[in-house]
Structure 1
């Protein structure tokens, strides 16, 4: 294994288009908004940025459109040190999330666009990239058949993968069984499994459930969260997954990896925007040292 863990992210790239106003327009109504901002996002791209900032050697496999957003999304990753050679370009629009913010509450419409052009055949052309990875991270903002193809490829080349099942949906047993780790939050776990306690027993040291302020639970125990005041929780799960993958690929125990990931996520929610507040490894280590007594 290289000094820097090799992490491959297979997933989505979106441009978040955020409009803030003091009310939501009714059908047929036009209102004046207060602010408009764009943020690079998508769960795959978010996890790639988080892993790169934490010090991993990151490769992104995904799809963007042949439009200005596609170029910008790719450039953002490149500036963060992510290998973008394996991001394809489709004859459609890039994925976007149209976000309406009123009094702090979000209403979001996601248009997958090029993300849904990420096909099983495209994944097969990246078998060598996957094989040369220490760990792979996959989410569910790409077609489920592509997730299945990626999972199958990881199994065949003997590379562990973390499945972040978001947005949650029912999954074929083989996708769950082939994953080294599954990382739903509490609400996603309720969609995936009829009985969470039984699922924890069925998937020991595989099913890792994030519970916000309550920390993380898995069959072997519980890892406390770090107490922080949240500014924006967007991207916290992506930061957690990237940090978890990095530490597991580096040989840490699941408990150690969860503690580090909790710290990274705690730092991330202190800033606006999914990617803006993602921390470096040095920042996470310093934060953990400062909070060690409170975290014991």
Structure 2
């Protein structure tokens, strides 16, 4: 069982040839409205990868709230812990260029009301194998969820994004941290990846750093580092690639897959996601992940 505590939002995405510079106006070729938010993205990714998933969070009572809730439910996520609060649902305003790169402005709105655990949340977390956390909701919620998880033997997986200072009250209860390379370096304050890994392992037992086209790096205290290459694909939209990776990784670890196999599985899920536009709309089903992994293994023989 996987519980996700975090943001649920609506992504407002514009596709352009080249992203505008400050003060510049450019013409877009397409606009899409797709449910997202880092918490909801991870929940959907994990559910589609075959996990049993529950979501804790909040949406507003506006026109965006119901489609976000419906998308989660239709993806197989238990939404009993997803509250509806007065006011607007969170939004992410995204610009995607022809290289698949993006820039994002997040407006928390309803997500800002998640300031701790509420009735039923502790029971959901205690019953889970993994609790997935991100930082688009208030830090107080992440700390509260992590404390409940630690008290009940639930492993905590933290995606430290958007990047911000991480208090000891959170890090002391984190089992696995999964930043991308830029987030990892921003947290540590150093450019050298090896020193960044050392900084992370001084604070958490396991770090998985995603490196884009260079794959991902697994590091754990007292163990040899493991690097897994990325799948060679052409990116259309990298939005939620990291969330797809984390959701699929939690499923793989929950199934007790060995580290290399789990990382390969998660990388395959992310590789499939970046070839499609949108966040939640891009996330693959389990059969697709298995087919890509099997094809890659066959190609290496």
Residue 3 of structure 1 is matched in structure 2 by none
Instruction: Provide closer, same or farther for how the CA distance between residues 295 and 140 of structure 1 changes in structure 2, counting only shifts above 3 A.
Output: farther
Instruction: Provide closer, same or farther for how the CA distance between residues 25 and 168 of structure 1 changes in structure 2, counting only shifts above 3 A.
Output: closer
Q: Which runs of 5+ in 2 are unaligned?
A: 190-194, 220-224
Residue 273 of structure 1 is matched in structure 2 by 278
Within a 5 Å distance, the mapping from 1:138-217 to structure 2 comes to 138-194=133-189, 195-199=195-199, 202=202, 206-217=206-217
Which has the larger displacement, 8-17 or 198-207? Answer: 198-207
Counterparts of 1:231 and 1:31, CA distance in 2: 19
Matched, 1:96 2:91: yes
Which has the larger displacement, 216-225 or 149-158? Answer: 216-225
Per-residue deviation at 1:261?
Answer: 0.5
Residue 192 of structure 2 is matched in structure 1 by none
Counterparts of 2:287 and 2:60, CA distance in 1: 35
Instruction: Provide closer, same or farther for how the CA distance between residues 231 and 116 of structure 1 changes in structure 2, counting only shifts above 3 A.
Output: same
Q: Which runs of 5+ in 1 are unaligned?
A: 1-5
Counterparts of 1:12 and 1:42, CA distance in 2: 5
Counterparts of 1:114 and 1:89, CA distance in 2: 8
Question: What is the DSSP-based 3-state SS (H/G/I as helix, E as strand, rest coil) of the residue aligned with 2:78?
Answer: coil
The C-alpha deviation readout for 1:236-275, integer Å capped at 9, x for no partner, is: 1011000110111111222221111011111111111112
The C-alpha deviation readout for 1:31-80, integer Å capped at 9, x for no partner, is: 97654321111011111111111111110100111111011110111111
Residue 136 of structure 1 is matched in structure 2 by 131
Per-residue deviation at 1:186?
Answer: 0.2
Residue 221 of structure 1 is matched in structure 2 by 226
Residue 74 of structure 2 is matched in structure 1 by 79
Residue 7 of structure 2 is matched in structure 1 by 12
RMSD across aligned positions (CA):
2.5
Counterparts of 2:103 and 2:212, CA distance in 1: 21
Give the aligned length: 289
Per-residue deviation at 1:203?
Answer: 6.0
